[in-house]
Amino acid sequence: MVQKAKILLVDDRPENLLALEAILSALDQTLVRASSGEEALKALLTDDFAVILLDVQMPGMDGFETAAHIKRRERTRDIPIIFLTAINHGPHHTFRGYAAGAVDYISKPFDPWVLRAKVSVFVDLYMKNVQLREQAALLRLQLEGRDAGEDGAKGPSGLLAELSARLAAVEEQAEALSKHLDESADAAAVATAAHLERKLTGLRRALDALEPGNDGRTTSLPSQN
């Protein structure tokens, strides 16, 4: 079963949440509603999200304050935030959004296709990171088995071949995504994709070090943060 990414939608108006769900339903991902900043922070305690769509104007804890809390938490600070606002107060207001940690700032009414495309980029990046973490976990198991002198059910060569094939598939998908981003994408999305490529390169080097004739005992895996 293909894992779906979770997208957090935060808005105090039910009709706005309904509209966002209608726009993003075509992405076939899991959409999670939150009607306040407090509710959003509660959802972020237990679930991992690919991206957050956050309304700026909310009673009580507004979007800026909610974003500040999100960025202060180690678990959630790297989740992309797209601010949505019905009020345009000019450059200063927009700058405050970026200063709060947003990767984008969109004024309502917005183009549904543009919003869906922006969200899709961050969903793709999130899924590639999930795949990368899975490959890193398998590689760690191989390293531990090698250090302990255990061949495992498939044997070192069999597991290495499987890891290499899986990693190659992720590398191919990441390359295709990077080419797409080169044509037109937000700077934040491009930077995230570049970070993903660096982690892939590090993982490939670690895997190559385990090939016959190489010493994998001193190999360290790239950080998955």
The string of DSSP letters for 87-127 reads ----HHHHHHHHHTT-SEEEESS--HHHHHHHHHHHHHHHH
* Nearest Cα to Cα of residue 52 among 77, 26, 27: 77
Cα 161 to Cα 76: distance, rounded to the nearest angstrom:
34
Residues 131 and 188 in one domain: yes
Domain hosting 147: range is 116-208
Dist. CA 94–CA 81, nearest whole Å: 13
Q: What is the pLDDT of residue 128?
A: 85
Looking at the fold, whether 40 and 65 belong to one and the same domain comes out as yes
Q: Is the pLDDT of residue 39 over 90?
A: yes
Q: 70 and 124: one domain?
A: no
CATH number, position 170 = 1.20.58
99 with 159, same domain: the answer is no
Assess if residue 222 is contained within a domain: no
For residue 15, the model assigns a pLDDT of: 94
- Does residue 186 or residue 21 have the better pLDDT? 21
Asked if residue 131 and residue 91 are part of one domain, the reply reads no
Confidence of residue 69 (pLDDT cuts 50, 70, 90): very high
pLDDT digits (tens, 9 = 90+) for 148-174: 554 444 455 666 666 666 667 666 666
For 20-44, what is the mean pLDDT?
A: 96
Does 76 lie in the same domain as 28? yes
219: pLDDT strictly greater than 50: no
Q: What is the average pLDDT across 7-28?
A: 95
**121/90 same-domain check:** no
> Which amino acid belongs to residue 11?
D
Instruction: Write the Ramachandran bin of 33: left for phi over 0, alpha for psi from -120 to 50, otherwise beta.
Output: beta
The pLDDT, as a whole number, for residue 13 is 94
Same-domain pairing of 128 and 51? no
Number of Cβ within 10 Å of residue 197's Cβ equals: 16
- Does residue 10 sit in the same domain as residue 103? yes
Provide CB contacts within 8 A for 54, sequence distance 6+: 10, 40, 63, 66, 67, 81, 82, 83, 84, 102
Question: So what's the pLDDT on residue 30?
Answer: 96
Single out the residue in 45, 75, 110 at which a domain terminates.
110
Cβ atoms of 43 and 32 within 8 Å: the answer is: yes
